[in-house]
Structure 1
Amino acid sequence: MLDKIKILLVVVLFSIFISCNEDFLETTPTDAVTPTIALSSAEDMQKVLNGIHRTLYAQLQTVIPGGSSNRSGNHYWIPLGDNLAGHLIHSADADNLGWRTEMQWNSHTVPTSLTNELLWYHRYNTILHANLIIGKINEGTLPVTSDLKAIEGQAYAYRAYALLSLVQHYAKGYLIGNPTTDAGVPIILTPQATGPRATVEEVYKQIGDDLDAAISAFSNATPRLTGDPKYKSQLNINVAHGLKARWALSKGEWKTAADEAVLARQGFPLMNEADWKLGFNTNDLPEVIWGSNVVDTETTFFRSYFYLASNTFNGAQIRSNPKIADKRLIDAIPDTDYRKDVFIIDAPNTNSSAANQQGGLDDQGQPKDPNYANDLAGYDARKAELYNEYGLTTRFNLHPYMHFKLKNKNPGSTDPDDIIYMRTSEMYLIEAEAKAMMDDVIGAQNALRPLGEERDSAYDVTIYNTKETLMEHIKFQRKLELWGEGFGYTDKIRWDEGIDHGANGGSGASAVLYQGAYQVEKPSVNNDWIFKIPQKEIDANPNITPNDQN
């Protein structure tokens, strides 16, 4: 899979040990860091796993030969899902790291784009190292212990995670296409470098097999440690069940999705209001099942998730372009739902370059923002209040419907924060959606009730008493609860929903800024939802030709 993947057998294992085990490098020459040495014991395998954990958020030039510091793994890929779906709305023109280009759908639709290339090789890098561990364990030369079973479970779960990510981005959605004939992605099960595109069905079968193997291994494994948020960077049986719930939901295996979601959330209670409003910046939150613990020594600064998505991060992408939510979604939130509090509907529009042309002051020194027409005193007072409440300086622009859901632990800084991948709330929503799709209205209501009643003091799920009304409500709850956490892209593919920023009063996005992405046809009739295969892969892989391009 390109020479860079072949090189990873030595180069990336060496890179992993630089960050994971300095003592190892002090006693072992560089040219001796080979898969044989690195995988000679369960302890060494755990070090390789720790390296995989690190690559999920490292700047990718440290992971992939020829990689770029402009992409830092899931710091970029997670918010990209909501950026592409039009959920994480840009209020002004700012293209740092190509974030506006992504939003305008001018990146993933181009075979030579950095995003297409690095997402592909990042996920196959994960698969490569999972394969090394799985292959060594399958040799049967190591003592089978509960610790080794935990490593085996993580390796299978990682391979499934990476394959699911690949097939959901580089192939047509399972539910909207013909999975038995649609081209998927290469299935690489050994540390080889190339492979042809399997069908979507074949890829999904392999993912299912890997998740079953992961769950089986975890069932006989040493449990994941608790008591420190760093331990949640390790995958465990809950993560494997959660990945299986996602996998089943995306392919319409509704009962499996519901059952696995229930298993995934065991031991991870829903957050209360105080926790929900903390900023989603730490694995320490009680309902976080899995997330990257981002350590200070590996900080990505202006390459991080919150640089792209949090309105408290001290970076140009945010200061000049505060991110806003779809006002149609926010206006629909009941006042009794505390989630509405983190979306500031009446934030003054302070940016003279705001895309809606309502920012800053006019020639008479009065606010252009219609919410503060001829009310400069109110405009200034509200600005000061928000700056003080959220720890911002006057360098930060404000905008109506801006969010403070994602917040730095240290607001106004560039400090690193954790990346959350899986939460209990998602599992309640998966169970509810799956049961609704099985026409089990009562079951879906019961699945949704704990989440809804926790978030909304006046919540009454019984008013959604048909499959149709319940599904619309589940979609609303999912868009609200998981806003900014990256699920928008895959949700729209599963639901076969397009993008229309102008419908029903408008989202608040600018047609001039969003260009062709202001309105996008639904995935079943628009192949632009499918990421292009990297041109470099087509050029180098004899099993993939230009005719295989999406």
Structure 2
Amino acid sequence: MIKLKSLIVIAVVTVISIGCTEDFLDTAPTDAISADAALSSPENMMLVLNGLHRIMYAQNPLPGGESSRSGESHFIPALDAQGGSIIHSSPGNGWMTADLQWLNHTNPNTTTVYNFWYQRYHFIASANSIINTIEEGDFAETPELNNILGQAYAYRAWAYHRLVTTFAKGYLIGNPSSDPGVPLVFSTEPPYESAPRSSVEEVYNQIETDINTSIDYLADASAPANKSHISINAAHGIKARVALSKGDWEVAATSAEAAREGYPLLSESEWLSGFNTYDLSEVIWGGRVIDSETNYFQSYFYYISPTFNGSQNRSNPKIISSELYDQIPETDYRSEAWLPLAPNTNPSASNDQGGGFESDPNYDSEDEFWNAWEEIIATYGMTSGHNTHPYMTVKFLQQNPGTIDPDDVIYMRASEMVLIEAEARAMMNDIEGAQEALAILGNARDSAFDVSEFSTQEELMEEIKFQRRVELWGEGFSFHDHIRWDEPLDHTNSGAARVLYQDGFTQDRPSENDDWIWKIPQAEINANPYITESDQN
């Protein structure tokens, strides 16, 4: 890694930012303690983990990086902008325009690739420090220590999986035994050696070892303090994601089923409540964002919520593909999460239909046009400065609309696990098993859902893909779903504007197009003697 010694010190020291209890979370300032002290006791190691829980969502500038592109708060919506799920209706204030135009991840000098790479290695370095200290030390085995080790191994598995699926060719569309993956780094002691790129297969082998070890420890661990912590259910969920991405269908199905145990699917009222709290019944893993450490104008809800009082949302309502939305049955209550007839009040809208009823094909008079806007503003609590747009999302709503107040970030839900199980069983050609899994979600969302309509593998997969695109819209999965399914990107009938999207409007399928593989940061190539320009993606 670049300046690996410094990276490890940063990882061990700067993540000591919060305490173990909710009271401490609400009151304590962000402080740092020495690396030796951080690893001196299980209690202090838990502080390191608590720092990682916060870094999952918070602003976290690294040397050479920017806080504006860090944490899942940024990368969840960014990956969906690149993958075509979240569609921008205008340039807005410029945030993420280069992401949806496919300019950021294809440039090795951008902060986007830098922060994604080094922040995940930050997680790895911190996990290494905990794992190595406990494994080499003389600590009594307790449920609390098992909890710490279980979470550390899970974080390392999660981070390596995020890296290898983003900076390497997809497992299912490449040659994993020979395709270059990412460096595997385990040392936390001098000489802090860097590492070459391991093969994709080698990285996956390590991920699987780590997540299995995590589950073993968490089986005999104390209960997680809250949903920000990685529970055994979340570890099973990470394992399910890993298995799905490599086509290990049986493991994906059984792990997904284990992950969702005890997490009932959302009711209609819960699903339409805004996805703003990890207290929702089916949230397995998420970040509780507190006032003192919020991201404000770099938060998840700033990027995606139509009610957040920031220029990104006021001038650029996010929309769903009109082609996708028009496939949602009227009997499916999820259709209420988008507004297909919202008036296009933005004169800067990229489709050239904004600013008034004259250019909006859905309205015939000025009064009708602005009355529709006023009703939306009043219903959802937006401000008078917010624009609306056809097919705009109202899936993500603030608890305190029209403000910049923070809300939680959701990383994993039971619905995702149901869909993983359904996809895995369909790919095994277990028609009955896939139908049973798919019906769990379909029946919960659509009063007229009939799973018997999907009786072949092809029919099941088409419906599963549709359900993923609707159910998990805006939750960060579309970019990697395209890679797993080897599907091209095409916004022709989506409502996206070619003038805004440029190169991101269409992209060939991942097996034929290496632009789906993110560039390695140039800073890594410059500093790592084991990686040269010839190793660049």
The two structures have a TM-score, normalised by structure 1, of 0.94
Query: Which residue is 2:246 aligned to?
Result: 251
Query: Which residue is 2:221 aligned to?
Result: 221
Question: What is the rounded CA distance, in whole Å, between the counterparts of 2:449 and 2:292 in structure 1?
Answer: 44
Question: What is the rounded CA distance, in whole Å, between the counterparts of 1:211 and 1:11 in structure 2?
Answer: 24
Tell me if the contact between 1:9 and 1:35 (Cα under 8 Å) persists in the aligned partners: no
Within-5 A mapping of 1:505-544: 506-544=493-531
Question: What is the rounded CA distance, in whole Å, between the counterparts of 1:544 and 1:150 in structure 2?
Answer: 35
Query: Which residue is 1:6 aligned to?
Result: 5
Tell me if the contact between 1:306 and 1:313 (Cα under 8 Å) persists in the aligned partners: yes
Tell me if the contact between 1:283 and 1:418 (Cα under 8 Å) persists in the aligned partners: yes
Deviation per CA, 1:139-190, whole angstroms, max 9, x where unpaired?
1411110100010000000000000000011000000000000000001122
1:68 paired with 2:66, answer yes
Query: Which residue is 1:368 aligned to?
Result: 359
Deviation per CA, 1:478-519, whole angstroms, max 9, x where unpaired?
0000000000011000000111111xxx10000111111111
The Cα of 1:10 is off from its aligned counterpart by 3.3
Q: Which moved more, 1:475-484 or 1:301-310?
A: 301-310
Tell me if the contact between 1:72 and 1:300 (Cα under 8 Å) persists in the aligned partners: no
Report the secondary structure of 1:123's partner residue: helix
Question: What is the rounded CA distance, in whole Å, between the counterparts of 1:265 and 1:257 in structure 2?
Answer: 12
Query: Which residue is 1:349 aligned to?
Result: 344
Q: What percentage of residue pairs aligned between the two structures are identical?
A: 51
Question: What is the rounded CA distance, in whole Å, between the counterparts of 2:260 and 2:247 in structure 1?
Answer: 20
Within-5 A mapping of 1:107-126: 107-126=104-123
1:327 paired with 2:322, answer yes
Deviation per CA, 1:74-133, whole angstroms, max 9, x where unpaired?
111111121101110011113544x00100000000010110001000000000000000
Deviation per CA, 1:367-394, whole angstroms, max 9, x where unpaired?
310000x322221211111010010122
The correspondence for 1:487, drawn from 446, 453, 477, is: 477
Question: What is the rounded CA distance, in whole Å, between the counterparts of 1:520 and 1:95 in structure 2?
Answer: 25
Query: Which residue is 2:277 aligned to?
Result: 282
Dislocated runs of 4+, deviation >6 Å: none
Letter in 1 for 2:361: P
Report the secondary structure of 2:181's partner residue: coil
Q: How many residues align?
A: 527
The correspondence for 1:296, drawn from 284, 291, 299, is: 291
Letter in 1 for 2:373: K
Deviation per CA, 1:459-488, whole angstroms, max 9, x where unpaired?
101101111011000000000000000000
Report the secondary structure of 2:412's partner residue: strand
Question: What is the rounded CA distance, in whole Å, between the counterparts of 1:118 and 1:154 in structure 2?
Answer: 22
The Cα of 1:60 is off from its aligned counterpart by 1.9
Deviation per CA, 1:175-229, whole angstroms, max 9, x where unpaired?
000000000000112223511100000000000000110011011111224xxxx
Report the secondary structure of 1:341's partner residue: helix
Report the secondary structure of 2:324's partner residue: helix
1:58 paired with 2:58, answer yes
Letter in 2 for 1:175: L
Letter in 1 for 2:381: G
Tell me if the contact between 1:10 and 1:34 (Cα under 8 Å) persists in the aligned partners: no
Question: What is the rounded CA distance, in whole Å, between the counterparts of 1:337 and 1:118 in structure 2?
Answer: 39
Question: What is the rounded CA distance, in whole Å, between the counterparts of 1:264 and 1:19 in structure 2?
Answer: 27
Question: What is the rounded CA distance, in whole Å, between the counterparts of 2:93 and 2:160 in structure 1?
Answer: 29
Question: What is the rounded CA distance, in whole Å, between the counterparts of 1:259 and 1:14 in structure 2?
Answer: 38
Letter in 1 for 2:224: R
1:462 paired with 2:460, answer no
Letter in 2 for 1:367: E
Letter in 2 for 1:462: S
Question: What is the rounded CA distance, in whole Å, between the counterparts of 2:175 and 2:11 in structure 1?
Answer: 37
Within-5 A mapping of 1:93-492: 93-97=91-95, 99-191=96-188, 192-225=192-225, 231-361=226-356, 366-372=357-363, 374-492=364-482
Tell me if the contact between 2:93 and 2:311 (Cα under 8 Å) persists in the aligned partners: no
Query: Which residue is 1:228 aligned to?
Result: none
Question: What is the rounded CA distance, in whole Å, between the counterparts of 1:58 and 1:164 in structure 2?
Answer: 20
Query: Which residue is 1:85 aligned to?
Result: 83
The Cα of 1:19 is off from its aligned counterpart by 4.4
Question: What is the rounded CA distance, in whole Å, between the counterparts of 1:58 and 1:359 in structure 2?
Answer: 35
Tell me if the contact between 2:8 and 2:122 (Cα under 8 Å) persists in the aligned partners: no
Question: What is the rounded CA distance, in whole Å, between the counterparts of 1:498 and 1:213 in structure 2?
Answer: 36
Query: Which residue is 2:44 aligned to?
Result: 44
The Cα of 1:353 is off from its aligned counterpart by 1.1
The Cα of 1:12 is off from its aligned counterpart by 4.3
Tell me if the contact between 1:160 and 1:210 (Cα under 8 Å) persists in the aligned partners: yes
Letter in 2 for 1:181: S
Question: What is the rounded CA distance, in whole Å, between the counterparts of 1:14 and 1:183 in structure 2?
Answer: 31
The Cα of 1:20 is off from its aligned counterpart by 4.2
Question: What is the rounded CA distance, in whole Å, between the counterparts of 2:13 and 2:195 in structure 1?
Answer: 25
Unaligned runs of 5+ in 2: none
Report the secondary structure of 1:420's partner residue: strand
Letter in 2 for 1:205: N
Tell me if the contact between 2:70 and 2:116 (Cα under 8 Å) persists in the aligned partners: no
Tell me if the contact between 1:367 and 1:379 (Cα under 8 Å) persists in the aligned partners: no
Q: Which moved more, 1:376-385 or 1:149-158?
A: 376-385
Query: Which residue is 1:500 aligned to?
Result: 490
Deviation per CA, 1:23-71, whole angstroms, max 9, x where unpaired?
9xx9xx97xx43322111110110110011111122122xx23331212
Report the secondary structure of 1:421's partner residue: strand
Q: Indicate how the Cα distance of structure 1 residues 416 and 193 shifts in structure 2: closer, same or farther if over 3 A, else same.
A: farther
Deviation per CA, 1:392-424, whole angstroms, max 9, x where unpaired?
122111000001001111111111111100000
Report the secondary structure of 1:124's partner residue: helix
Unaligned runs of 5+ in 1: 226-230
